[in-house]
Structure 1
Amino acid sequence: MPIKRIIAGLNEFHDNYFITHRELFENLSQGQTPEVLFITCSDSRIDPFLITQSQPGDLFVIRNVGNIIPPYGSPHGAEGAGIEYAIQALNINDVVVCGHSHCGAMRGLLQIGSLAQQMPLVYDWLRQYAEPTRRLVMDNYKDYPSDKLLRIAIEQNVLTQIENLETHPIIRSRLHSGQLTLHAWIYEIETGEVFAYDANAGQFKILENRPFPVPNPLIGVYSE
């Protein structure tokens, strides 16, 4: 049974990894100081700690279907609460919104009508918070081949969610003061590569040795 394998893994973790990293976990028991808020999809093929080669305590992670960030004031408050805690209480200065190739949520978004009967909660989730992505893609790229259309939807959804993120008061305030940087990423499962949105080029580029931070929006710029 799969659960037996999971339990065996727990025992392996405790008897090997935990024992050799005991000092790390003792330090973590005193509190957390993550460096990055990492927002990504619930997809089982995505492991933020693995692809970034991070240690426990390095990332504050929020995951859901489609790496979606409801705008501030939305009835779904879990994501907003996590964002607020990460920035205010943990003083995180970098936020990554990471989509991924072959995203089932985005595939469903492009065929949204068929979801209503089979998965009504998924339908409601995508319809409410990813409709700007669907409308943009279908209005401007509907004649593209299906694989290309899916890639465009994945990329545009990350940018849509960055815009939603910017509606949160704590995000807006920290962006205004220059204390926060946003990053829009796509993880490609089949190659292991990560693409970051380069606003100057208007496209996602392979992320190698330098970041491509999302430019701060013009939020209440004051001049005397």
Structure 2
Amino acid sequence: MPIKRIIDGLNEFQDNYFVAHRELFEHLSHGQNPEVLFITCSDSRIDPFLITQSQPGDLFVIRNVGNIIPPYGRFNSAEAAGIEYAIEALGIKDVVVCGHSHCGAMKGLLQIGNLAQQMPSVYEWLRYHGEPTRRLVLDNYKGYPHEKLLKIAIEQNVLTQIENLETYPVIRSKLHSNQLTLHAWIYEIESGEVFAYSGEDGKFRVLENRPFPVPTPLIVTHAT
């Protein structure tokens, strides 16, 4: 059964990985000092530590359906608490919002009426927080094939969350004093590549040897 495999993995971790890295975990027991706030989707195919080859303690991670950040003040969300803690208490200076290809949340957003009865909580989450992305995509990209429309929705959703982040007082203050940098990424599951938003041309480009900090205002373009 699946849980047995998880327990076997736990035992393997304790007997081998933990023993080999005992000094690291002893160090982590005294506190954390992550370098990046990494905001991504709950999708099981996304592993921030795996794709960035990071160690425990390197990333402060916030995950939810659709890598969504509610605007500041809309309600007292877990996401808001995590953001404030990461920036104020931990002093993080880089924030990544990472969407991904084949995102089920974005598929649902484009056909949101179908979710109301089957998954009412998912419906309410996406209807409440995904409407700016849905409206932008459906109003401006009519006639696009479904796969292209989904790709655009995934990209625009990431940029919407960047804009939502900028409504947080702690984020705006740090950005104003150049103490914080925002990054908009898309992880492509089938290729393993990460695409970062480039302000130079308003497109997502393959991320290789240099970062693409997000400028404001955000503009993203798509070839017809």
Separation in 2 of the partners of 1:142 and 1:14? 53
Give SS of 2:117's match: helix
- Please state how far the C-alpha of 1:164 moved relative to its aligned partner: 0.4
Matches within 5 A, 1:89-128: 89-128=89-128
Q: Which residue of 1 aligns with 2:49?
A: 49
- Please state how far the C-alpha of 1:76 moved relative to its aligned partner: 4.9
- Please state how far the C-alpha of 1:5 moved relative to its aligned partner: 0.4
Separation in 1 of the partners of 2:216 and 2:59? 22
Separation in 2 of the partners of 1:77 and 1:168? 12
Separation in 1 of the partners of 2:142 and 2:111? 12
Q: Which residue of 2 aligns with 1:221?
A: none
Which residue identity is paired with 1:100?
H
- The TM-score normalised by the length of structure 2 is 0.96
Identical positions, percent: 82
Matches within 5 A, 1:177-188: 177-188=177-188
Runs (4+) off by over 2 Å:
none
Give SS of 1:23's match: helix
Q: Which residue of 1 aligns with 2:67?
A: 67
C-alpha change, 1:216 and 1:31, in structure 2 (3 Å) is farther
- The TM-score normalised by the length of structure 1 is 0.96
Separation in 2 of the partners of 1:176 and 1:207? 25
Is this contact kept in 2: 1:42–1:64, CA < 8 A?
Answer: yes
- Please state how far the C-alpha of 1:135 moved relative to its aligned partner: 0.3
Give SS of 1:161's match: helix
Separation in 2 of the partners of 1:165 and 1:154? 17
The number of aligned residues is: 218
Is this contact kept in 2: 1:137–1:152, CA < 8 A?
Answer: yes
Q: Which residue of 1 aligns with 2:220?
A: none
Separation in 2 of the partners of 1:76 and 1:161? 17
Separation in 2 of the partners of 1:102 and 1:215? 26
